[in-house]
Chain A
């Protein structure tokens, strides 16, 4: 795949629409998010859907708690965030494991694949280990064609099997974030 450069207004890749279609098909009713440029297309699609309740968060761990409440009330939900947010969630993940609640997080990766900002590196590199350590199964996606089927599988596994799952969308897949005009 080419070394794509990400600009927030230019992110309308087919994989994002395919992810949205999976959310609809899987009856995902609540979408909680802290924005990332890589998620901008998916967030916009969810916000436009009157049958979905999209909630913008101030911090990612609130999304873990919110989705726990959603499921207690009968709604399926997903959490959209970038890898830096995983660190914010650590203690709140104990809620999921203690209560054996389903959780699906879709995480755009930073701190890899030509990352411009060194401050993203640490949490990006730690994300898979942190998730695994906290009981969240991490499924990495590098090929855009895999995004939708992996999300579909994660949703089934989480809501049918009462597990916590995360789909990690690699930075190579979403594109390298541009801080200057280039390419």
Chain B
């Protein structure tokens, strides 16, 4: 169970994602369905963001394939705790594959925010940091302050991973910032931005 003394030390999800992406350099981003996709769009739409609107559980695995295809660029999966919990096995896959350029960033509000704020397993004491470490991934302690985010942003650029970070964020919804949801459009513009080629 979370310690009541630290329970209220949580970051605003929009501020946290904006901080991670403010000096993104060559960073390629895959965002998980729901709020993580809205947060990445709110930080500034970019063709190098691949927004998922479905495919729950697949964000980290998709980012792994991308990281393996683009080993010289930093790649980040930015997703929620619900999506990560559905795809926990992908942390084992990522650990075994060990791509140095991949960071998996979880925005952990401990609820399924899209469906009525039902508690996730992280609300009941499950530590995604410990899961990642158990798989063998270098994982930061739960992040609860903006200074640690600066450290994380710098490490995401260094490509010495794979790296895992769990950011404890405040529950509660922001106004939705909806990026394009046509998948064929998103994939074409991503490929064009990254590879200089169309479909």
Which positions in A face B, CB cutoff 8 Å? 29-30, 32, 53, 55-59, 61-75, 77, 91-92, 94-95, 98-101, 162
Tell me, in angstroms, the Cα distance from A56 to B94 when the chains sit together.
10
Residues in chain B near residue A75, CB distance under 8 A:
65, 68-69
From B28, B61, B69, B187, A65 is in contact (CB under 8 Å) with B61
Residues in chain B near residue A77, CB distance under 8 A:
65
Q: A29-B69, A100-B184, A101-B187 are in contact. Are A66 and B64 (CB under 8 A)?
A: yes
Tell me, in angstroms, the Cα distance from A55 to B183 when the chains sit together.
25
Beta-carbon nearest neighbor of B196 in chain A? A74
Residues in chain A near residue B97, CB distance under 8 A:
55
| Distance from A27 Cβ to chain B, minimum over Cβ atoms (Å) | 12
Residues in chain A near residue B66, CB distance under 8 A:
69-70, 72-73
Tell me, in angstroms, the Cα distance from A100 to B194 when the chains sit together.
18
Residues in chain A near residue B69, CB distance under 8 A:
29-30, 69-75
Residues in chain B near residue A53, CB distance under 8 A:
68
Structural contact, B183 and A99, CB atoms closer than 8 A: yes
Q: Is B126 positioned at the interface, with any CB of A under 8 Å from its CB?
A: no
From B54, B57, B63, B186, A69 is in contact (CB under 8 Å) with B63
Q: Is B27 positioned at the interface, with any CB of A under 8 Å from its CB?
A: no
Residues in chain A near residue B64, CB distance under 8 A:
55, 66, 69
Which positions in B face A, CB cutoff 8 Å? 28, 30, 50, 52-59, 61-70, 87, 89-90, 92-93, 96-97, 183-184, 186-187, 190-191, 194-195, 199
Residues in chain A near residue B54, CB distance under 8 A:
91, 94-95, 98
Structural contact, A66 and B194, CB atoms closer than 8 A: no
Residue of A62, A73, A74, A162 with most partner-chain B CB within 10 A: A73
From B59, B61, B96, B190, A72 is in contact (CB under 8 Å) with B190
Q: A55-B97, A56-B96, A68-B65 are in contact. Are A62 and B187 (CB under 8 A)?
A: no
Tell me, in angstroms, the Cα distance from A65 to B65 when the chains sit together.
8
Q: What 15 new A-B contacts, CB under 8 Å, besides A55-B93, A72-B66? A: A30-B68, A30-B69, A58-B90, A62-B89, A62-B93, A68-B58, A69-B61, A70-B66, A70-B68, A71-B69, A73-B194, A73-B195, A74-B70, A94-B55, A98-B183
Tell me, in angstroms, the Cα distance from A77 to B140 when the chains sit together.
32
Tell me, in angstroms, the Cα distance from A101 to B187 when the chains sit together.
8
Structural contact, B183 and A92, CB atoms closer than 8 A: no
